[in-house]
Amino acid sequence: MSKDKGEVVPDTDYVILMARVGLYSTAIGRKPTVTYLDHDGIFSGNFFRLAELVDVAAAEATGDQIRTNAALGEILRCVFKNIT
């Protein structure tokens, strides 16, 4: 995909997380979920913790910054929208 046509090129985290959704689903036996803790204003959950670890590893490998809790939560919302 090219950015000049207005298309979004998936970043490293997104691609890695999409692959992990399938692995997680197979291992756990259900689709992953992420919980938003309204009283704390943060995302949490087992899959979210996995996503945080992936984000740190991808950031270190690419020299990018580690995403905030809110930014990573929004990425996961996009990932989950694309689960069939």
- Token readout for 56 is 């740190």
Mean of the per-residue pLDDT values for the chain? 80
Which residues span the domain enclosing 47?
3-81
pTM over 0.85: no
Give the CA distances from residue 52 to residues 6, 44, 45, 64, 75, in Å, rounded to whole numbers and listed in that order.
28, 10, 10, 14, 11
Phi/psi for 67 (5° steps) reads: -75, 155
pLDDT beyond 90 at 27: no
**What is the number of structural domains in the chain?**
1
Cα(35)–Cα(41) distance, integer angstroms: 10
> Who wins on pLDDT, 51 or 22?
51
Minimum mean pLDDT among 6-10, 17-21, 80-84: which range? 6-10
Phi/psi for 40 (5° steps) reads: -100, -20
